[in-house]
Amino acid sequence: MATNVNAQLHSLTNLITTSVHDIISVYASVGQTVPSLDSLEPGPFDGAVEDVPERLKANGHAEPSALLVVTQARIADLLVDKPEGLHVDQLAEASGFKDADKLGRLMRLLASRHVFREVKPNVYVNNRLSAKFISKYPMCDIVGLQTDEGMRATAYLYETYTTEPRVPNETPLQRAYGVPLFDWYNLPENKDKGERFNRAMVALGDVYGKGFLAKSYPWGEFSGECTICDIAGGNGHVTMRLLKKHPQFKVVLQDQAEVIEQAKEYWAKEHPQALADKRVEFVPFNFLENVAVAGCDVYYMKSILHDWPDAECRVILQNVRKAMKPGARLVIHEIAIHSPARFAQRAEERAPEPLLPNWGASAARTYEADIRMMKMFNAKERTLEELTTLWHVQFSNFEPFGLKFRGLYPAGEMDLVEFVAV
């Protein structure tokens, strides 16, 4: 199989190279060069492919809609241990889908994207990509959140930001559902959606790399014990991983009271030794209302600020800063957005030309996350400059009690942005 895949990759390389030569030759035959994407002038062959890129983009809603259907219907589960595959009639009957023809058309769309494989007309098997959508895997929760609540909110982006808000700080999602997200989750009929959201948040953390905190930050600078306050850390699975690597450290986990109760059960199951050694402490709090536990060496915040507009971020930061002793560190674990403009990139981070300097489509997930924060919370993923200036706006009048930017540590698709209390 490996040899076959290697051969396929070589064939793909040859196809790309040959196609590039063909394109250059065709343009040369009419005395022109291939037009640049930066140019506004029409190319000689634009009429032959009129609006194709625009149509491809405009129809981009179809694929996530199909993913929502197959994950909710548990199609990948039905194909487990079915190497010969199942016909769409069987899949529709087993999943409760009312129309086998419509299910088959959705399946064919996904198979064209290498999600599932059509082995005979209307007969499908799992492949490496569709296997990720078996319900025991967290990808189902991520897909459900983003293609259900997320897609509905997307449909209201334009109306929300071009008309008068019906309530202050109205989000596109709030316009879609009539209430803020978490109020909607608290409705009895949406209990399962709220549970899916919580699972998706843990799963997204794993996608972006929960292990990066332990290996990307210079923990060796702490020669002995170190107390880390995990601000709104959920069940604490990220700092648990850190504690397993550095058992001499201590974690103070802070979150809402009901979350803390769940976290206690999680640690009792996953790391009982930390409880026995009193290396973890559970302290309920609300970061918009309460000051964090005082005197810790490091205050760690993962994927918190991106959920909130600037004003609320400053309240959160103030409640953390009040707890920090001189020299204590604040580590913000977030996506640091980069501009596609070449002048905006640090030289060591730029992609080689002719790629966009921010690596273009390969980095699209970070920009999609930014839009997700916009439509659900009126919040954002921030640039490094925006992260570092959040604090200065709030504390410009009393610099001695502020924070000083100390460094940035790449951590996969996210970054660890470090400040020190001065």
- Tell me: do 273 and 411 sit in the same domain: yes
Query: Tell me: the pLDDT tens digits for 122-140?
Result: 999 999 999 999 999 888 9
- Tell me: do 290 and 396 sit in the same domain: yes
Question: Does a cis peptide bond (omega within 30 degrees of 0) precede residue 64?
Answer: no
Domain boundary among 112, 134, 156: 134
Which pLDDT belongs to residue 249?
Answer: 97
Residue 1 is assigned to a structural domain of this protein: no
- Tell me: do 230 and 287 sit in the same domain: yes
280: confidence class by pLDDT, cuts 50, 70, 90? very high
- Tell me: do 334 and 186 sit in the same domain: no
Residue 353 is assigned to a structural domain of this protein: yes
203: confidence class by pLDDT, cuts 50, 70, 90? confident
- Tell me: do 179 and 285 sit in the same domain: no
- Tell me: do 219 and 172 sit in the same domain: no
| Predicted TM-score (pTM) of this structure | 0.80
Domain boundary among 158, 176, 205: 205
Query: Tell me: the pLDDT tens digits for 292-307?
Result: 999 999 999 999 999 9
Report the alpha-carbon distance of residue 80 to residue 83 in Å, rounded.
8
Q: What percentage of residues in the chain have a pLDDT greater than 90? A: 59
- Tell me: do 279 and 374 sit in the same domain: yes
Domain boundary among 95, 111, 134: 134
User: Is pLDDT of 56 > 70?
Assistant: no
- Tell me: do 152 and 187 sit in the same domain: yes
- More confident call, 208 vs 120: 120
Residue 102 is assigned to a structural domain of this protein: yes
Taking a C-beta distance cutoff of 8 angstroms, is the pair 85, 79 a contact? yes
Catalytic residues: 306
CATH number of the domain within which 72 lies: 1.10.10.10
**Residue 294's Cα: distance from chain center in Å?**
31
In terms of residue numbers, what domain contains 196? 146-205
Residue 49 is assigned to a structural domain of this protein: no
> How many domains does the chain contain in total?
3
Q: Which residue has the tokens 């088959």?
A: 104
Residue 12 is assigned to a structural domain of this protein: no
Q: What contacts 267, CB < 8 A, 6 or more positions away?
A: 235, 236, 240, 274, 275, 280
Which pLDDT belongs to residue 385?
Answer: 86
Q: Which of 408, 374, 392, 7 is nearest to 157 (CA)?
A: 374
Q: Compute φ and ψ for 413, nearest 5 degrees.
A: -80, -5
- Tell me: do 106 and 172 sit in the same domain: no
Residue 47 is assigned to a structural domain of this protein: no
Q: Which of 384, 391, 389 is nearest to 345 (CA)?
A: 384
- Tell me: do 198 and 232 sit in the same domain: no
Residue 20 is assigned to a structural domain of this protein: no
Residue 26 is assigned to a structural domain of this protein: no
Question: Does a cis peptide bond (omega within 30 degrees of 0) precede residue 247?
Answer: no
- Tell me: do 308 and 404 sit in the same domain: yes
CATH number of the domain within which 403 lies: 3.40.50.150
- Tell me: do 268 and 336 sit in the same domain: yes
User: Is pLDDT of 340 > 90?
Assistant: no
